[in-house]
Amino acid sequence: MDQEQAHRWLATALAEARDGREEGGIPIGAALYGADGALLGRGRNRRVQDGDPSTHAETAAFRAAGRQRSYRGTTMVTTLSPCWYCSGLVRQFGISRVVVGEAETFHGGHDWLAEHGVEVLVLDDPECTALMRKFIAEQPALWNEDIGDE
Amino acid sequence: MDQEQAHRWLATALAEARDGREEGGIPIGAALYGADGALLGRGRNRRVQDGDPSTHAETAAFRAAGRQRSYRGTTMVTTLSPCWYCSGLVRQFGISRVVVGEAETFHGGHDWLAEHGVEVLVLDDPECTALMRKFIAEQPALWNEDIGDE
């Protein structure tokens, strides 16, 4: 896909991640874009804000998009490599592409998605990485809770 | 695990599925039990009721359980084989066991979970199967939407 578009779309997810940080939450954001390039939904991790462990950034964006008959041609943009839960979401619903801000601080299921026909683009965005590095250093227990790591 | 206990726990998930059917929703229910056998959360698919595509039965039960520090020893009980999205949830959070009501009308990711160390028990429960068969026959488009099938 178009790199410039990918970076522009990542900006939406990154704005969500920054808002999450400001709220004292886990700074991961996501956005779902339609086949025509329209924004379908955006959101951020809400574990802290809502006490809701089921709302990762990707599921928040997916929920915000509401019911869709098809996800063909859609793109999930996320500031961080999607965990198994969110990778499963992408695979089950046939989301066509995933744009990943960074996969350095956490390596989720994006290789598995690529193996199963999803177009994956990892941007190695320095702001995404810096946001997570700072968060993980400051709140390691909260981060481990969010990925089910004991 | 204990078959009698598994069937008793399935009754909780099945009650959720029946409630979902009564509401005009997708009749799939789930419950998350703790390592000590206490019910942590229960829920049902809410696509129709809340217009929320992100709430499958398993995610509803997981959300209802609230934030947990560890899922070691927990059991996810679901009336239907978990889709990739819900299988990813189980794997990411280290849920130890999955009890599946039936895997005949839909074969999700439970084999994958077993390969990755999750204890899986498929009960072949006739009421779970009958509930789904009737639903799929009556509302095939809604069912396809819920599993991202075009």
pLDDT digit string, tens, across residues B19-58: 999 999 999 999 999 999 999 999 999 999 999 999 999 9
pLDDT digit string, tens, across residues A65-106: 999 999 999 999 999 999 999 999 999 999 999 999 999 999
Among residues B89, B40, B90, the alpha carbon closest in space to that of B65 is found at B40
**Residue A150 has which token pair?**
């004991």
Q: What is the pLDDT of residue A88?
A: 98
Cβ distance of A53 and B59 shorter than 8 Å: no
The DSSP secondary-structure symbol of A69 reads S
For the question of whether the overall pTM of this predicted structure is more than 0.95, the answer is: yes
- Whether chain A has a CB inside 8 Å of the CB on B67: the answer is yes
Q: What is the pLDDT of residue B139?
A: 98
From A69, which residue of chain B is nearest by alpha-carbon distance?
B145
**What angle, 0 to 180 degrees and rounded to 10, lies between the N-to-C axes of helices A57-64 and A3-22?**
110
Report the alpha-carbon distance of residue A63 to residue B65 in Å, rounded. 19
Cβ distance of B68 and A54 shorter than 8 Å: no
Report whether pLDDT(B1) > 90: no
Q: Give the three-state DSSP class for A50.
A: helix
Q: How far is A118 from chain B (nearest CA, A)?
A: 14
A47: chain B residues, CB-CB within 8 Å: 67
Residue A101: CB partners within 8 Å, gap ≥ 6?
A10, A13, A14, A77, A78, A79, A80, A123, A125, A128, A129
> Which positions of B are annotated as active-site residues?
58
Q: How far is B52 from chain A (nearest CA, A)?
A: 6
Residue ranges for chain A with pLDDT beneath 70: none
Q: Give the three-state DSSP class for A43.
A: strand
User: How many of the other CB atoms lie within 10 Å of CB of B127?
Assistant: 15
Query: Interface pTM (ipTM) of the complex?
Result: 0.97
- Whether chain A has a CB inside 8 Å of the CB on B56: the answer is no
pLDDT digit string, tens, across residues B63-84: 999 999 999 999 999 999 999 9
Q: What is the pLDDT of residue A150?
A: 86
